[in-house]
Amino acid sequence: MNFFLQLLFAGIAQGAIYALIAYGFNVTYWTLKVVNFAHGSCLMISVMLSLTVYRMGMPIALAMLCGIAATGVMVGILERIAVRPVLDRASGMGWVVSTLGAGIVLQAVATLIWGTQAMAYPSFLFEPTDYITLFGVQISLQLVLVVAVALLVMVAMEAMVRRTIWGKVLRATAFDPDSARLRGIPVQRVVTLSFVVSGALAGLAGVLIAPISGIDPGFGLNLMIKGFVAAVIGGLGSSLGAMLGGLAVGVIELFVGGYISTAWRNGVVFMLLLLVLMVHPRGILGHKITVKA
């Protein structure tokens, strides 16, 4: 029973990280119906930058904030150079190739700067030895922090989209950009800001998971893939769906690895994705997209 609970709690924490990454996908999807496939590399850059400035003598909390802020700015610039030109001049799914290419470039640059050796990330708030006991199982307080932050972000995003002027602006931009412009909404600024927020969420996910997992220039790619799977399973554009999808992916991944084999973890997760798409192509909480002609 203890082993079951350990896997369950670890899966929930891992799923919370995937949910945070899925939230970042949702923010850009709300405005442009675009997914940034450089998300994992941006997450990794945030962690590497924060670790670098920490080693230069900056307090860890401030270093993490610097990494998150720098990643937000970087993703805003990425929208300008890798997404906007493709949307203006090309048709179809050109943004997929451009953002994937940007992610590969960022990973290559990170490898040149920091090398390929895995590094440890310093603890924040809690040490690796800090635990609470729940139902007889020891749970790392760092994992509890991850889940708490993910829930807080979900609530904040839902409140922002449904109850604030910014949320109304986002919805108007997503529904009909031309009409939004006619009503005085600075559509391009809204889009750029959505990418900045998406990048900040990627950075937040990175600095939360780094003390647990360790880091290297390639560690963001797997997280991005699982976060995207979580977003699709839950329904792109839904904050609650992102949380449910993330938890489903995290828990199933840990149970498969614990009871069957770690070699099956990714395969079963993608089988779940295919099953959900066959039954409900828009995801669990996805909504039908209305396109004006």
Mean pLDDT of the chain: 85
Could you say which DSSP state residue 264 is in?
A: G
What separation, in Å, do the N-terminal and C-terminal C-alpha atoms of the chain show?
56
16-20, 145-149, 175-179: which has the minimum mean pLDDT? 175-179
Residues 186, 189, 195, 196: is their CA dihedral positive or negative? negative
80-84, 224-228, 246-250: which has the minimum mean pLDDT? 80-84
Q: Where are the beta strands (DSSP E) in the chain?
A: 131-134, 137-140
Query: Where along the chain do its domains lie?
Result: 16-219
Residue 97: predicted pLDDT: 86
Residue 118: predicted pLDDT: 83
Please write the tens of the pLDDT for every residue from 261-283.
888 888 888 888 888 888 888 88
Tokens of 190: 């809204």
Q: What is the C-alpha to C-alpha distance for residues 202 and 45, in angstroms, rounded to an integer?
A: 10
Residue 72: predicted pLDDT: 92
**What is the pTM for the complete model shown?**
0.87
Helix axes 2-32, 165-175, angle to 10 degrees: 70
